[in-house]
A and B are shown apart, each in its own frame.
Chain A
Amino acid sequence: MSFLTYLINGLSLGSIYAIIALGYTMVYGIAKMLNFAHGDFIMVGCYIIFSVSAALSGNPIIGILIAIVLCTLLGITTEFVAYRPLRGAASPLAVLITAIGVSYLLENVALLIFGADIKSFTSVVKWEGITLFDGQLKIQGVTIVTIVVSIVILIVLQLFINKTKQGQAMLAASEDKGAAALMGINVNRTIMLTFAIGSALAAIAGALLCSAYPSLSPYTGAMPGIKAFVAAVLGGIGSIPGAMIGGLVLGIVEILSKTYISSQLSDAIVFGILVIVLLVKPTGILGKKIQEKV
């Protein structure tokens, strides 16, 4: 029974990685850049929720909504100010280095405003959870909410991409920006929309992450950000279902290896899996083989 508990916890952690990985993979898919500041948007979201909750001392929903709105604005602004001018730069490294710079900027601004001490985050999920099998299996409310939220996000995203004109434009622009522009698609606006969605997801992931692991510091987003990046690569970068699968695999492996092998070694195992997968299947689990038809 305890195995089941760990599995569910892994699924929950994996769901958080998956939500973050969706932002990574969508932005990569269309802008062909790795937004290494993505993880720090989670931290920004958490501090916003933390501050709003402290100020209003009430319903966390308002804090979450404000965090989503502000993170979206931050994502759009970052794209416009820092990344867009470098699109089409001579070296793709330019924008990558800028992203790392944005990451440090956000961490240090948070350090300046909130200090280095770890804040205790109050869970946004008040529900205790459920107990099954006569108390043998207890699942926390936040665990269930996390899994449900990630499923809802995946479904909504798939519907958006496959059923709406904007979503289809996103798909077209991620395949061929020039051809998309010939169709009349405003590629810059489409990329901006992708950043907006990714950043909103980061805010949601932040709320869930800090509710499950309630310590908040300026570096809270860094490690989950890196792991979500690993998840996105594992699943096949650019692929939305891939990000989901990669996130879940990573979360489950992390929790199970923490439990059964060693809590110190769990990160080594997680990154070791990445190395192995990339050796065996460099495009990731669901990644497509890149081939050009002449």
Chain B
Amino acid sequence: MANLLEVNNLSVYYGVIQALKGISFHVDKGEIVALIGANGAGKTTTLHTLSGLIKADSGSILYQGKELTKIPNHKIVSLGMAQVPEGRRVFAEMTVLQNLKMGAYTRNDKAEFESTLEMIYKRFPRLEERKSQFAGTLSGGEQQMLAMGRALMSHPDIILMDEPSMGLSPIFVNEIFSIIEDVNKDGVTVLLVEQNAKKALSIANRAYVLETGSIVKEGRGIDLLNDEEIKKAYLG
């Protein structure tokens, strides 16, 4: 299977602090890959660098053969890479529908927009019920659904998800994870960053463990789930 995304020796500095110390990993087409690790390990930094919100200091990000570090951030989504950012970051003062329209900002086909919207509403019926409500008035779980729907509106080949379960009630956490699996079954590759390592490893094909800016372990999700060290450090 071809590598959809290949990250080589990626380094990022915040001032003098090195947040990513030359990490390398890859994501194959159709996979769910999880990046797990503690707070401050560099998980969000990794995703932000992939999406171009943070500039890489060295290393390469090859996505479908294109070098992303040389592409301005607003052009990345139209290459087929969308992100559901940490903390959802929905546009609180815009309605649910306006948020979804922003998700389709790079798509110019009206008919395609309508059919995608219908698909999103089918997947997240709650969003249709609340389409004219301001996003800021939604509950945390609904905002997470909106953030996912918004990312899916761009027809991504790969979706980067940053802590989708953060701050959600256990019921919503289960719902969100089953939606991630559904989205993946529909052919969207998923790169998932999670502190909830147990949940993430249970749905991931493969996973990488990030510790203070370096990848310290990698393997199949199910193997890592049964790894004694991982159990001790991340699964409590």
Q: Which residues of A contact B (CB under 8 A)?
A: 165, 168-169, 171-172, 175-176, 178-187, 288, 293-294
Contacts and interface: CB of A to CB of B under 8 A. Distances in A.
B98 A168 contact: yes
A164 B195 CA distance: 39
A165 B98 CA distance: 10
A175 B53 CA distance: 16
Interface residues of B, number: 34
Contacts of B85: 178-179, 182
B102 interface: yes
* Residues of A contacting B: mostly: helix
B224 to A, nearest CB: 29
Interface in B53-92: 53, 72-78, 82-83, 85, 87, 89-92
Contact of B89 (A165, A169, A176): A176
A243 to B, nearest CB: 16
B158 to A, nearest CB: 13
B89 A183 contact: no
Contact of A183 (B102, B136, B140, B143): B102
B102 A172 contact: yes
Contacts of A171: 91, 93-94, 98
Nearest to B151: A182
B51 interface: yes
Given A171-B91, A184-B74, A294-B167, A178 B53 contact: yes
Nearest to B147: A179
Interface of B: 48, 51-53, 72-78, 82-83, 85, 87, 89-94, 98, 101-103, 105-106, 136, 140, 143, 150-151, 154, 167
B106 A182 contact: no
B89 A179 contact: yes
A182 B93 contact: no
A178 B74 CA distance: 10
B134 to A, nearest CB: 11
Nearest to B108: A165
B144 to A, nearest CB: 12
Given A179-B85, A181-B74, A184-B154, A165 B105 contact: yes
B82 A176 contact: no
B91 A181 contact: no
Contacts of B48: 178
A162 to B, nearest CB: 9
Contacts of A183: 77, 102-103, 105-106, 150, 154
Contacts of A288: 93
Nearest to A180: B102
B101 A168 contact: yes
Nearest to B78: A184
A82 B2 CA distance: 46
A184 B103 CA distance: 8
15 contacts: A165-B101, A168-B98, A175-B91, A175-B94, A176-B91, A178-B48, A178-B53, A181-B74, A182-B85, A183-B106, A183-B154, A184-B76, A185-B74, A186-B74, A187-B74
A181 B102 contact: no
B48 to A, nearest CB: 8
A3 B48 CA distance: 60
Nearest to A169: B105
Contact of A168 (B52, B90, B102, B140): B102
B77 A184 contact: yes
Contact of B94 (A168, A181, A187, A293): A168
